[in-house]
Amino acid sequence: MATRLPESAFADRLAAVRDRLADTDADAATWVGATAIEYLTGFHHIQTERPVVLAVTADRVEITVPRLEVERVSSNPRIDAVRDYFDYPGGEPVSVAVEMLNGLGADAIAADADGPPGVMGYEGPAFSEFLDVETQSWVDRMRWAKSDAEVDLIRESAKWANLGHRYLADFSEPGAHPATVSQRASTEASRAMLDALGDAYSVRVRGDGPVHAGYISGEETALPHGHTPNERLSEGDVLVTGASANVDGYRSELERTMFVGDYSDEQAHYFELMLEAQTLAIDALGPGVPVDEVDAVVWEYFEEQGVTDLAQHHVGHNIGLGAHEPPYIDRGWGERYDGDDAVMAPGHVYTIEPGIYTDEYGYRHSDTVAITESGTERLTNFPRDIESNVV
């Protein structure tokens, strides 16, 4: 049972970016993206109008934060010094970050962006107004392949997502409201997870439980990103579900197409088309397989079945600290990347979710699958067949 990353993971990551820094003319590397900062140091924060700037040199790690984050970050053993500004717009976060970099002897930086992002109304100067800047995306690329420890966390997430999904199925019935069923399933699965893990669970949520399980229903399923409708379930409804769990920041994805009561022949037809597409995609996965080839396999099947007009998105995406991460299982991937970047590799963890969408309903399963040295491992295990997905 894995519930948090080992300390050695952060040492390895910092060593890796320092190796990359040594190959540049920059004096320091900087990050303003919240996920990259979390990946390198374990300090997780909500990205708001208050920028956070991480700096890494050959022998130091320093960070600039708003005053309200000082206590949360000061105890981080991987960060050597903390600079702060009071708030924004009263404070000047970039000026404080530049002072930090000047103190590190950095006149040139390799940055993930030329200044903090314009989130929630933040407007500030670019780093290049004060320093020489070259851009880099080292952490983004490092996150493509997960370590064994990261895959263990995603595997643990999938276990609790499976439980949350079971509660969804158990609590759904004609007359129930999808919003309250989702809340109930999430609460029950979160309670079970927290009771089971106890102090081993790493604090990662604010006010919510670690498991989320819910669905959209009825005509909203015809929209891949539909909303939970304000209408109670009735016989013949189609559901498109989703369940995940947060384990030290890492996530899995489990989705199913379900039916309330009896399903029609037409609904069964589209369900089976979707299921076969997902099966083909899962079977096509593996180390060394071109990423775009998996999407092409599904598209060719859709062409044979004459339903390409019902497809609205690619087959899937990598998952980890982010809900969506590259590589993306898309027919265009090979046009943008080549060599090792164009193929699946051990440590990639993909959602496999080809969907088809009629004017009335949508049909989509999603499973989380890890690429291994010898093949694949499906981490989510809720049944996929039609009879197991009737409530």
Whether the Cβ atoms of residue 65 and residue 93 lie closer than 8 Å to each other: no
SS3 assignment for the chain: CCCCCCHHHHHHHHHHHHHHHHCCCCCEEEECCHHHHHHHHCCCCCCCCCCCEEEECCCCEEEEEEHHHHHHHHCCCCCCEEEEECCCCCCCHHHHHHHHHHHCCCCEEEECCCCCCCCCCCCCCCHHHCCEEEECCHHHHHCCCCCHHHHHHHHHHHHHHHHHHHHHHHHCCCCCCHHHHHHHHHHHHHHHHHHHHHHHCCCCCCCCCCEEEEEEEHHHHHCCCCCCCCCCCCCCCEEEEEEEECECCECCCEECEEECCCCCHHHHHHHHHHHHHHHHHHHHCCCCCEHHHHHHHHHHHHHHHCCHHHCCCCCEEECCCCCCEEEEECCCHHHHCCHHHHECCCCCEEEECCEEECCCCEEECEEEEEECCCCEEECCCCCCCCHHHEC
pLDDT of residue 21: 98
As a whole number, the mean pLDDT across the chain is 97
CA distance 370 to 352: 10
Q: Averaged over 271-276, what is the pLDDT?
A: 98
Q: Averaged over 70-84, what is the pLDDT?
A: 97
The band of 145, judged by pLDDT with boundaries at 50, 70 and 90, is very high
CA distance 33 to 53: 8
154-203 per-position pLDDT tens digit? 999 999 999 999 999 999 999 999 999 999 999 999 999 999 999 999 98
Q: Averaged over 128-140, what is the pLDDT?
A: 98
Q: Averaged over 37-56, what is the pLDDT?
A: 97
CB count in 10 Å sphere of residue 301:
18
285-298 per-position pLDDT tens digit? 999 999 999 999 99
CA distance 197 to 269: 42
222-254 per-position pLDDT tens digit? 999 999 999 999 999 999 999 999 999 999 999
The band of 114, judged by pLDDT with boundaries at 50, 70 and 90, is very high
Is residue 138 predicted with pLDDT exceeding 90? Answer: yes
- What are the two backbone dihedrals, phi and then psi, of residue 251, each rounded to the nearest 5 degrees? -130, 160
310-321 per-position pLDDT tens digit? 999 999 999 999
The band of 22, judged by pLDDT with boundaries at 50, 70 and 90, is very high
Tell me the whole-structure pTM to 2 decimals.
0.96
The band of 206, judged by pLDDT with boundaries at 50, 70 and 90, is confident
* % residues pLDDT > 70 (the chain): 100
Is residue 263 predicted with pLDDT exceeding 90? Answer: yes
pLDDT of residue 207: 85
Paired sense of beta strands 132-135 and 108-111, if any: parallel
Is residue 147 predicted with pLDDT exceeding 90? Answer: yes
Is residue 1 predicted with pLDDT exceeding 90? Answer: no
